Structure 1
Amino acid sequence: MAKADDTPPGEPLSVRQGYMLAVLVLVAALTLVAIYATGAGARERAMSEARLSAEADQVVARLRQQLLTYELVTRGGVSLLAAIQRPNQRQWRNYTDGLDLSQRFPAMLGLCYAASMSPAELQDFQLEQRAASRQLFRVDPPGARAEYGPVVLLEPQTMASADVVGFDMLTEPVQAVAMEAARSSAAARITAPLPMMQEGAGPGLVIYAPVYRSGIVPANPAARPAALSGWVCAPFSIDPFVASALPAGSGGLSVRIVDIGEDDAEADDLPLFPLDSAAFPDADADGVRHSLVEQVYGRRWRLEFHQARTGGSGGLLGPAGTIALGVLASLLLFALAMILARTQSRAQDIAARMSDSYRRSELRFRSAIRFSAIGKALLDRDGRIIDANLALADVVRTSPEELMGRMFGSLFTGGDNAAEARARAASGSVYRVTRELHRDDGDIRHVHLTYAQVPGEHGQDVASLVQVEDITDRLRAEARVLALNRTLETRVALRTRELTRANEELESFAYTISHDLRAPLRAIDGFSRMVAERHADAFDDVGRGYVARVRAATLRMGELIDALLKMSRVSRSELKREPLDLSAMARDILSELAQGDPGREVEVVIEPGMVASGDSVLVRNLLGNLLGNAWKFTRETPAARIMFQRVGQGGEEWFEVSDNGIGFDQAYAGKLFRPFQRLHAADEFGGEGIGLASVKRIIERHGGTISGEGVVGKGARFRFTLPDEPASG
Structure 2
Amino acid sequence: MTADEALLSPDALPSRHGYLLAALVLVASLALVAIYATGAGTRERELAQARLAGEAEQVVARLRQQLLTYELITRGGVSLFATVQAPSPQQWRHYTDGLELDRRFPAMLGLCYAEALSPAALQELQLRRRAAGMGLFNVDPPGARAQYGPVVLLEPRTIANINTIGFDMLQEPTRAAAMLAARDSGAARITAPLQLAQVGAGRGLVIFAPVYRAGIVPSDPSARAAALAGWVCAPFRLDGFVEQAVADAPGTPGLRIVDIGDGVETLVYAHDAALAPGKHAAAVTHSVEEQVYGRRWRLDFHQVRAGNGGSALLGTQGTIVLGMLASFLMFAVALSLARTQSRAQQIAARMSESYRRSELRFRSAMRFSAIGKALLDRDGRVVDANLALANILRASPEELMGRDFQALFSGTGDAAEERSRAATGSVYRVTRELRRDDGELRHVLLTYAQVPGDVGQDVASLAQVEDITDRVRAEAQINALNRTLEARVALRTRELTRANEALESFAYTISHDLRAPLRAIDGFTRVLGERHADAFDDAGRGYLARVRAATARMGELIDALLKMSRVSRGELRREPLDLSAMAADIVADLRHGDPQRQVDAQIEPGLQASGDSALVRNLLNNLLGNAWKFTRGRERGHIAFHRVEHAGETWFEVADNGVGFDEAYAGKLFRPFQRLHAQDEFVGEGIGLASVKRIIERHGGSITAEGRVGEGARFRFTLPDDAGVG
| TM-score computed with the length of structure 2 as normaliser | 0.44
